[in-house]
Each structure stands twice: as structure tokens, then as C-alpha cells.
Structure 1
């Protein structure tokens, strides 16, 4: 007889809270802003959904036939869950650091699909193996002694949020006690040791250990941001090529130094855009994933060509190629965290009832967009228009000012081309109407400080040309 499932490390409600968001918070978000309290409402909802997802995974494994989830795999899952429970009782915050890591979401969703029979058995077993790594990372962060056996995939044994061991395929035994992780290979021979520091970073003199670089907090009181180039689920199901993104990469020490320097230069640039930009970065950004340079940017990404993205199932993660300058890095966070914010808001309260047919013109994309994609793009570009305007007004150097005015003018014209479609939709909910009305208010407020005439003319020509090309390519679709 199969025993009842063990309780999850936390006790989530039956369903996420659906109480309406207070109007003052909704209006803040409509202005592409949001104070810490408002953003934490979105974060709490997303965290609750993550806990429910993990509970659903456990229940699905318990209910699955033995042909799908063999007894040995189920027993291992229960052992891993028991370790999570022990770690939870010791240090709840440490466990949540791992459970709420962005890529725990794609992993859990993949396992759920596998348990439904839509993924092959080997892929399911590989997915369930990863729970051992999740539990081990949580126990390490909580300071709980344990011993476990982990499985290498593609030559890596990952410990989410901490790093990964580069080794041969197969299983390795690990043991953790008194702040030190010992890794043993076949026959029990020691491979290496990893020292866990009080701040949660993991280091080793052995080059086979690939640590996750912790970027400093963007403001006092916020946590460090992992620069994660080892998690196996960082691009799982992300469709990078389909969305114009390059592949995820591993960084060497020199490249990590460059990323760290770019990161350190973003704080003052975000501050120019307003304290709310620092706030949303501190509250929402949980992980940064380095991508390779996009096509046409040169072998090491020297040019301004750049790509970035977010994933709905990986809340708090920003994927980005290395930009040419810190100004573009700061703009990347402004841009991508609006997608994070709006996606979380749409999960909390419905914003519209439009269908998913791709039929709308968006000046930032060559293909037709569904209504929700149009809303997402307009929202992020409105935030960019505001950010670049503030940057232009605060710039001391002519070159910096010209760059900012050029980017502002282009983003503002792009938003202006699609706002009438958003405002004219009869499928907006009450919350959606409030959001779009606030967006319109911000758009008109930008007129208080118009860009220089030359920048404005070029931006208008850019959007007009994009529309002509779109019409030629897509024929009679809605504009």
C-alpha cells in the first residue's frame, strides 16, 4: 500500500489569492512603476504558485502508475522531500532561496508534463533525479548535514543557486557537514571539496567546481543576484531561437569580470531613471543568465547588437547577452523587468479577454502580435521611453545625451503607434482599463520634455518605415 504523500515544506493555500489589487497599486503599475509593497504583492502571488506547483508534482508522482514512475524513483523522491522538510524546519528562508530560484519552475513543469505521459521515461527519470540536487542545495544553504547520491547530466552535477561539478556522466556521492561539501566518485574516492561561505557562496580550488557568481546587491537590504551560467534548466523550453535570442553560455573568469564590471555600473544609471527602477530591480530580479552574442554582433559582442528576454515560468530571471555598454545593460533591466511585472500582474488579476490570434502591428517586431503581446511590448517600451528621457535630461556628456534622446524618441513613437489599439479594445477588464489609462497618462506626460527635432524626425521615419514593411509582409492583417 502506498503511504499518503508527505506534506510539502510549506503549507500553501488551496489556490492563490484572487482578491482584487488595490487601485492605488494598480495605478502605480500602470505608470510602469510600483513601490516595494506593491511589487511584493506580485512576488507573494508568484511564490505561492511555485509552492502549489511543487505540491502538484509530488501528488502527481504519488498517483502515477508504476509504468510511469517506478517504485525506486518514487522512493528517492520521498527521501529528497524528507531532506527538504528537515532543511525547512532548520532554516525556512534558506530553503525558499532554492525553491523560489527561477529555474525550479521550468524543472517542475517539465516533470509534471513527463508524469502525464507527454515526455519519454528516461527524460522523466532525469527530471526526478534533479529533485535530489534541489534538496541537497536547500540543505546546504540551511546548514543541515546530509549524504546523498547525485546524477550527472551532460557532464555536470548541478546544485541550484550554488554551482555545478564538472565530471564524467554517472552518479557521484556527496556529503555535507560543518560548512564543507565533499564529493566522491566511483569507489568512494574523493574528487574534491567545496567550502560554503557564510554568505551562501560556494568555492573550491579545484577547477572542476563551477561556482555561481553572486553579483552585489543593487541597493542595501536587497540580496545578491546570481549570475547563473550552469543551471541545466535556465533555458529549458524557452524557445530562444524562436524569440531571437542566442544560446546560453558558460563564462570563464575573464568574462565574469566583465559582467561584474557592467553590473556595478548599472546602479547609478538606474537611479537616474528614478528610485522606482532601483526598487523593481531589487525586489524582482532573482537571477541573471548570460547569453551568447546575437548574430551580427561580432565574435565577442563588441557592437551594440544585443538580445534579452524573460520567461513566464521562470519568475525573476532575466536572460541577456553582454551589452556593449552599461547604459544598455541598465536599459535591459528596465525593459525586461516590465515583462516580469506585467506577466505577474496578469496572473493575479485578468487584464483582458482578447483571444491569442497574432494580428496586430507592433513596430518592434516584424511579425503580427496577439493582443497580450502588444500590451506587453507597449508596456515595456513605455518604461524605456521614460527611462531614456530621464537619462537624457540627466546626462552630462553630449554623446550620452544623444544616445538617450535617440532611444527615447524611438520608444515613444513605437508606443504611440499601438496605444490606440489598446485603448480601443472592448475586451479590457476593469483592471486592464485602469492600467491602459495610466499608460496613456504617462505617454502624454513625456511631451513635457520633447526630444530634439532631429531625433524625433528620425524616430517617426523609423516607425513609418516599419509599418510599411509590416503591411507588405503581412497583407490585410489588422494594424
Structure 2
């Protein structure tokens, strides 16, 4: 189901976004559109279940879905914001998409029933956040009972009775073992003395007045359909107490470093970032540090989520957010209005990838890298220590040179829409504005040599494909 047509974004919004900026009003337009799409997707899931043959979705499964929906409606009447926190959680997007794919088949897939059971967990989590008293039964799968945005319980697979009242959640397994008690707060924190409870760590808010950022290492759909290996990413991981401390310490230094990149970097993090998903060390990393040091990514169906291995320093944590939130912005803008009519054939050279890229991937990469070039230039100009300044200039020079290698392809495309042309023109303006404060000659020479070498290697690997 498609959302109702939206008005084209105003030109001033496109110009802001083309400069990789965006004030609060502009970003909220993107957020509202994505939120509307999510709610329609959830409604479409219920409609698809009603329309599916009983061989795919038996009557008892449909009845349970409607019971879960009724609990969601009850919770929303009590606290709409609490329910939206759960339903708009980024990782509910991949789950809903997977359910729709399963319901569209003539024969149920092996995971469909488990996927449909997840709506019960979402409804329970929403009711808990809304402070609604209820009793129900959930089903643990693969040894885990998730309560999205709150945490998860390690337990034997099978049915589980749960009851919630006045901030206390009681879970009873079918084998008669002593119940597990979890104490919850209205802000979404949940704790238990039982070691089987795995809470979602909440990182402090980027700015006052916005919510904390969940570091979600327990949601079962956090990497569903992500194609992680194909995109050079590692698998999702569970983090122990020591790793949680390291993430928290690194996060504590992010806010002032984002501010170095301009107030708009803090604004986009505060408005767009809804959760972080920790990944393991990048593919190819070894015990002594060889190979890639870091990997990160976003997913269109998980708006607001940033997947990332543990950043080595707060500076790289901040730059990861700058990089990935540009993908979030541009994907949301592309959903709101078409930016081009190029096909999806992978044919273009991109200095940040070894494989040919489709035009949309080229645009996405250039957009995120020019934001990084801008961020690292500001970092270099404000750095007090020589080592920090040198690092920032090196990163700036490399990113700017990479963007310069692909901007002619973007600018020369006849398939850009009016909105896409305006966006690319603003990117070009930003690219030339960076010349006002060029990097030291040595950094520039090394960046030029890096991109030239990358091009030669790409041509050798990919032959006569277009660049």
C-alpha cells in the first residue's frame, strides 16, 4: 500500500539538503513521511493476513493478529507517543516487510508463523510503555523472547505467559519454573535481577528534549534482509558489559565533536537517529588489527537505524553518524520525490567501492562523502593538536577527491528530475566552497594519488564498463 501523495518539497528544502544540511522543519517533513509509510505498512500487513488463504495464514493466526491489534489500540488510547515509539522503531520495518513477503506466497514459509508471532511482542511492548495493565501469551523462538525497544529474555522456545501491572512485568514459562520479574519505567528502561533478562542499553540523548538512543543488540530483525556481507558489513553481535562501557564512553564524546561540524549535524542526529545496532569487527579484521578497522551502514526499510561496528574513537563515531545519516536523509527524500529516472544497472566507477555502482548508489555515495569532506574540513580548522589536524586533513582530502571523481557523471545525467538537478547543483556548490580552505599540499597529493590508483585497479577488475 502506497502512502497518500505528498506535496513536492519546497525549493529551499532541496537547497538545504543539497548542501547536506537541513533545519528542524525540513528534517521533520522527511520524518513525517517515513512515519506515515510505516503505519500504512503495518495496516497493509493486517489486511494481507485477512486476505491470505488459510493455507498461508490459518484462522487462529488471524484471530491472534486482531487481538494484538486491539491491544495496540487500547495502548494508543492511553499513551499515543509510547505506542508510536514501538511501532516506529526502525527494526519493526524489516520485520513488517518480511511478513508481507511471507503472506504474499501461496505456501507459508517456515518462518512466517514466527514472524506473525512478533506482532504479539510489539503489542506487549507498546502496552508496557503505555502503562496499560494486561495479561497475554507470547511465544519464544530460537531461545529468545523479545520485547522490542525494551529488551529480551533468554528462555526455552515455546509459549510463555506474561502479565503486566503498575510497572511490573511477570513472565511464566510453561515448565513451571519460578517466574521472572522485570521492573519497567515509563521512559522505556527495564531491569531485572534475573541474568536471563537482556536489556536494551539507552545511550543519552544527543540534545536536551529528545529521547535517548537505544543500542539495540537483541532485536531478532536487526539485520534481517540487510545483505551485510554483500555490502562489506559484519554480522550483528551481542555486546557484553565491557563492550557496553566502551560504547557508552565513546558516545559521551560524540556531542561536542558533532558540534564541530556545525549545529546542523547535531540537529540531524537528534531528529533522525532512532537506534544504533552494534556489529562485530569488520570482515577481514584480524587479531592484530589488519584489514578494515570499521564498518557501518543503513537500511532503507529501517528508517532511523545506523548499523556500526564499535568506533575506535569518538571522532570516528561522530563521522560515522555524519556519513550514515546522509544516507538516511537522501533515501527519505528519494521516497518523497523522484530524484532521477536512471536504471539500476551497476556500471559506474566509485572510488569508495571496488564494484560497479548503479546511478542511485553513486548519488548516495557522493552525497555522504561530500558531507564527510565538509565535516573533516571543519574538524581540521578547529583542531588544537597537530595529530588531530593531520588526521582530519587527510580524511577531508580523500573524501573531497573521491567526490570530485564522480560529480561529472552525476551532473551530466539527463535522467535527473528537476528536484534531482537542484540537489546535485547544490552538491557542486558545496564542493567548490570547500576550496576556500584547501588541505596542505601533501595531503592533497596523497588523496589524488589514492583516487588515481583506485581508478586503475577498478578498470583492471571491471574491464570496459562505464565510469
Normalising by structure 1, we get a TM-score of 0.95
1:347 matches 2:335 = yes
1:313 aligns with 2:301: yes
Quick check: 1:103 aligned with 2:55? no
Q: Does the CA-based 8 Å contact 1:45-1:348 persist in structure 2? A: yes
The equivalent residue for 2:377 is 389
Q: What CA distance in whole angstroms lies between the structure 2 residues aligned with 1:219 and 1:340?
A: 19
2:348 to 347, 360, 365: 360
Q: Is 1:162 the equivalent of 2:170?
A: no
Q: Do the aligned partners of residues 301 and 147 (structure 1) sit closer, same or farther apart at CA in structure 2, a change above 3 Å counting? A: farther
State whether residues 293 and 301 of structure 1, in contact with CA within 8 Å, keep that contact through their aligned partners in structure 2: no
- Structure 1 residue 191: Cα displacement: 2.7
Shift of 1:296: 3.9
Per the alignment, do residues 109 and 14 of structure 1 end up closer, same or farther by CA in structure 2, a change over 3 Å counting?
Answer: closer
Q: Aligned partners of 1:473 and 1:189: how far apart in 2? A: 60
- Among 275, 279, 304, the residue aligned to 2:263: 275
Shifted more, 120-129 versus 432-441: the winner is: 120-129
Please tell me whether the aligned partners of residues 172 and 179 of structure 2 are also in contact (alpha carbons under 8 angstroms). yes
Between the aligned partners of 2:296 and 2:326, the Cα distance in structure 1 is: 13
CA distance in 2, matches of 1:119, 1:226: 36
**CA separation in 1, counterparts of 2:33 and 2:287?**
41
Contact 2:55–2:106, Cα closer than 8 Å, also in 1: no
CA-based RMSD:
1.4
- Separation in 2, partners of 1:76, 1:22: 44
The equivalences for 1:203-282 within 5 A come to 203-282=191-270
1:289-320 deviation digits (Å, cap 9, x = unpaired): 00000134344979871000000000000000
Alignment partner of 1:337 out of 325, 328, 337: 325
Report the Cα distance in structure 2 between the residues aligned to 1:119 and 1:326, rounded to whole angstroms. Answer: 49
> Per-residue displacement from partner, 1:442-463 (whole Å, max 9, x unpaired)?
0000000000000000000000
Instruction: Note closer, same or farther for the CA distance 1:91–1:236 as it changes in structure 2 (3 Å cut).
Output: same
Give yes or no for contact 2:217–2:278 (8 Å, CA) kept in 1: yes
Cα contact 1:145–1:176 (8 A) shared by 2: yes
Q: The residue matched to 1:122 in structure 2 has which SS?
A: coil
Matches within 5 A, 1:132-211: 132-211=120-199
What is aligned with 1:61? 49
Quick check: 167-176 or 447-456, which moved more? 167-176
Counterparts of 1:298 and 1:191 in 2: how far apart (Å)? 43
**Alignment correspondent of 1:424:** 412
- Tell me the equivalent position of 1:37: 25
Kindly indicate whether the alpha-carbon contact (under 8 Å) linking 1:363 and 1:414 is maintained by their aligned counterparts in 2. yes
Match of 1:123 in 2: 111
Aligned to 1:313, what secondary structure does the other structure show?
A: coil
Asked if 1 retains the 8 angstrom alpha-carbon contact of 2:323 and 2:368, the reply is yes
Residue segments in structure 1 that go unaligned for 5+ positions in a row: 1-12
What residue number does 1:407 align with? 395
Task: Give the aligned partner of residue 48 of structure 1.
Answer: 36
Cα contact 1:249–1:291 (8 A) shared by 2: yes
| Contact map agreement 1:248 1:290 (CA 8 A) in 2 | yes
So what's the TM-score if we normalise by structure 2? 0.98
Native 8 Å contact 2:372 2:399 kept in 1: yes
Q: Following the alignment from structure 1 to structure 2, what is the Cα–Cα distance between the partners of residues 440 and 119? A: 51
For residues 189 and 465 of structure 1, the distance between their equivalents in structure 2, rounded to whole angstroms, comes to 63
Give the aligned partner of residue 73 of structure 2.
85
SS in 2 for 1:357: coil
TM-superposed CA distance for 1:400, in Å, is: 0.5
**What is residue 450 of structure 2 aligned with on the other side?**
462
- 1:244 CA displacement: 0.4
Alignment match of 2:362 (pick from 368, 371, 374): 374
Preserved contact between residue 55 and residue 108 of structure 2 (Cα < 8 Å): no
Task: Determine if the alignment matches structure 1 residue 475 to structure 2 residue 466.
Answer: no
- Distance (Å, rounded) in 1 between the aligned partners of 2:371 and 2:418: 22
Unaligned runs of 5+ in 2: none
Deviates more, 1:452-461 or 1:71-80: 71-80
Rounded to whole Å, the distance in 2 between the matches of 1:27 and 1:119 is: 48
Classify the secondary structure of the residue corresponding to 1:318.
strand
* C-alpha distance after superposition, 1:65-85 (max 9, x if no partner): 111100111111111011001
Q: 1:301 to 1:340 in 2, by over 3 A?
A: farther
SS of alignment partner, residue 336 of structure 1: helix
- Residues in 2 aligned to 1:118 and 1:309: alpha-carbon distance in whole angstroms: 33
DSSP-derived class of the 1:335 partner? helix
